[in-house]
Amino acid sequence: MGICLSSRYSMMKSENLSRPPPTTKIIHPDGKLQEFRQPIRASLILSRNPNCFLSNSELMYVDSRLPHVPEDEQLQPDQIYFLLPLSKSQATLSLQELCLLAIKASEPLSHLNNVLSDQNVVKFVLDFVPQGGQPTKKLCSKS
Please report, for the domain that includes residue 30, its CATH number: 3.10.20.30
| Assigned domain for 113 exists | yes
Residue 107's pLDDT is 76
Q: Is 60 part of a structural domain of the chain?
A: yes
**pLDDT score for 9:** 40
Q: Identify whether 4 is part of a domain.
A: no
- Classify residue 2: in a domain, yes or no: no
Q: Going along 10-89, which residue ranges are E strands?
A: 11-13, 16-18, 24-27, 33-36, 40-41, 52-56, 74-75, 80-85
In a domain, 93, yes or no: yes
Q: Is residue 5 part of a domain?
A: no
Assess if residue 3 is contained within a domain.
Answer: no
E-assigned strands of 44-98?
52-56, 74-75, 80-85
- Which pTM value belongs to this model? 0.66
* Helix, strand, coil percentages in the chain from 3-state DSSP, rounded to 5: 25, 30, 45
Say what the pLDDT of residue 111 is: 64
Output the tens digit of pLDDT for each of the chain's 143 residues: 455 544 444 334 444 456 668 899 999 999 899 999 998 999 999 999 999 999 999 999 999 999 999 999 999 998 999 999 999 999 999 999 999 898 888 877 776 644 434 433 344 444 444 445 544 444 454 44
Residue 35 lies in a domain: yes
Q: State how many domains the chain has.
A: 1
Instruction: For residue 54, give its domain range.
Output: 11-140
Q: Provide the pLDDT for residue 26.
A: 95
